[in-house]
Structure 1
Amino acid sequence: MNVQARVTRRYRFCAAHRLHAQELSDDVNRKVFGKCNNLHGHGHNYTVLVTVKGDIDPQTGEVTDITRLDDLVNTKIVERFDHRHLNHDRAFQDVVTTGENLAKFIWDELVEEIPVGQLAKIGLIETRDNYFEYQSD
């Protein structure tokens, strides 16, 4: 009988962004996004929580290969965004850099490449008060 479990790994990066929707006027953007619409942007110390689910391997006792997962997330997410401005990344040229959109982007980047197991959830901590979660149903 297969026994399933979940494992969550935590990753961190620092990045700047500006909340601004191209299709909205500058006035509306200021009203909708407030101080987060600052022309020069603002920064966050992001924490990304990557949850993988799967069968517990009877030999290793693990759900996934942690070393390979760490390499994947560090290469595709942390190195790409750390000490960068998210609005300057090609992925966000036509997408507002909200936490919701960033969490979905991270999901899309990782979902097909999880080394063992299946991606279950992405959690994104942006501030003490802002936590975003994405999972595909």
Structure 2
Amino acid sequence: MIYLTRVENFNAAHKLSNPAWSKEKNEEVFGKCANENWHGHNYELHVTVKGDPDPETGFVFNAKTLGVIIKDEVTEKIDHRNLNMDVDFMAGKFTSAENLAIGIWEQLTPHLPAGVHLHCIKLYETPRIYVEYFGNSK
């Protein structure tokens, strides 16, 4: 089994807020992320696929093709957008890094060919905070 990772970057704004809570409770739990005027991040996205190398190409999957899929299915939809308001696959969800990683997984999975499997979404929200998602193993 070989693992191939493609790294992409995008910028997006969001706000973390539970509408059932008071402004004070949201600020207590989410801090600056509850800012009424939104805030943004320069995200770094690592998409890792796995599989066996093709005997004709030596590739698990063409990295350029993976980049096109990521662009078409993810970054074009979220780059320089408001995650709370502009991104269809985040509608009705808390826009935490955790939920965004799950949403990205769900966007990419249907577009991978047979024999190539999504292994991990690693999403850096800041240089010191990232999440990893390995699919739903419930």
Partner of 1:100: 98
Change (3 A) 1:26 1:90: farther
Partner of 2:12: 15
Match status 1:134 vs 2:128: no
Partner of 1:119: 118
Question: Runs in 1 of length 4+ with deviation above 4 angstroms?
Answer: none
Q: Deviations over 1:39-85 (max 9, x none)?
A: 11111110110000001111211101222211110011111111111
Aligned ranges for residues 1-137 of structure 1 at < 5 Å?
Answer: 4-88=1-85, 89-115=87-113, 117-136=116-135, 137=137
Q: How many residues align?
A: 134
Letter in 2 for 1:15: A
Q: Distance in 1 between matches of 2:118 and 2:53?
A: 15
Q: Distance in 1 between matches of 2:37 and 2:98?
A: 21
Give the root-mean-square deviation of aligned CA atoms: 1.3
Q: Distance in 2 between matches of 1:69 and 1:115?
A: 11
Q: TM-score, normalised by structure 1?
A: 0.91
Gaps of 5+ in 1: none
Gaps of 5+ in 2: none
Q: Deviations over 1:7-41 (max 9, x none)?
A: 00001101111111223222211110011100111
